[in-house]
Chains A and B, each alone.
Chain A
Amino acid sequence: DAGVTQSPTHLIKTRGQHVTLRCSPISGHKSVSWYQQVLGQGPQFIFQYYEKEERGRGNFPDRFSARQFPNYSSELNVNALLLGDSALYLCASSFIAGGGQPQHFGDGTRLSIL
């Protein structure tokens, strides 16, 4: 079975631009979470979605938004990119929502801001 897939794998943007990252969960998983991982640190929680509804939000500015589609795939949008947004963005899926659920991660999108 296919794991969590994310696209693109790498992306280079300049300050002020907008970016959309995509995630397809494992088949049968209805919850998707997004994390930001800065080099040398652990992932930080951004959003969790379940059945197309936002179930949790981390401490990130309103420039970050996300949505989940009827097929349970998800998009993460970041507006007005800053140099500090450079990071690995990870998507994780789980069968149901909840922080205690085992998270299955994709290999991430490496975003570089110039």
Chain B
Amino acid sequence: TQLLEQSPQFLSIQEGENLTVYCNSSSVFSSLQWYRQEPGEGPVLLVTVVTGGEVKKLKRLTFQFGDARKDSSLHITAAQPGDTGLYLCAGAGTASKLTFGTGTRLQVTL
């Protein structure tokens, strides 16, 4: 069974602070996706990383895929209240299954 553990589970920070969310597994994934989910809505895809060691930037968000394709991180610079939400990593492994992580709930206050 492929499992993805995210840390921390909860994060409450003030506007302007930096943060990093980690997504770890003992399994290798062919690709890894990051989603953000807001209350009452479905997850929205932020990025897909495919190659080990790959780094992608999306404005103030930086995503990295581990060299062994077992882990990933999401770094947010100068967080804003609009970044508040549930961040989910999801790994693509065998066949059609997408395995989601346990989630990191981020709250950014003024």
- Counting residue pairs across A and B whose Cβ atoms lie within 8 Å, the total is 72
Q: Is B102 an interface residue (CB 8 A)?
A: yes
Least Cβ–Cβ distance between B96 and chain A, in angstroms: 3
**From residue 85 to 114 of chain A, which have CB atoms closer than 8 A to chain B?**
90, 92, 97-100, 102-108
Interface size class of B (residues with CB under 8 A): 20 to 34
Q: Is the CB of B101 within 8 A of A4?
A: no
B4 neighbours in A (Cβ, 8 Å) = 42
Q: Is the CB of A43 within 8 A of B48?
A: no
**From residue 24 to 48 of chain A, which have CB atoms closer than 8 A to chain B?**
33, 35, 40-45, 48
At the interface, is chain B mostly helix, strand, loop or mixed? loop
Q: Is the CB of B93 within 8 A of A99?
A: yes
Least Cβ–Cβ distance between B84 and chain A, in angstroms: 16
Task: Determine which of B6, B30, B33, B95 lies in contact with A55 in the assembled complex, contact meaning CB atoms within 8 Å.
Answer: B95
A40 neighbours in B (Cβ, 8 Å) = 103
Q: Is the CB of B42 within 8 A of A92?
A: yes
Q: Is the CB of B102 within 8 A of A48?
A: no
At the interface, is chain A mostly helix, strand, loop or mixed? loop
Q: Is the CB of A103 within 8 A of B45?
A: yes
Of chain B, the residue at the smallest CB distance from A108 is B42
Least Cβ–Cβ distance between B99 and chain A, in angstroms: 7
Q: Is the CB of B97 within 8 A of A100?
A: no
Least Cβ–Cβ distance between A87 and chain B, in angstroms: 13
Q: Is the CB of B42 within 8 A of A4?
A: yes
**A contacts with B, residue count (CB < 8 A):** 28
Least Cβ–Cβ distance between A61 and chain B, in angstroms: 16
Of chain B, the residue at the smallest CB distance from A3 is B42
Least Cβ–Cβ distance between B49 and chain A, in angstroms: 11
Q: Is B98 an interface residue (CB 8 A)?
A: yes
Question: Contacts A100-B92, A102-B33 known; A41 to B102 CB distance under 8 Å?
Answer: yes
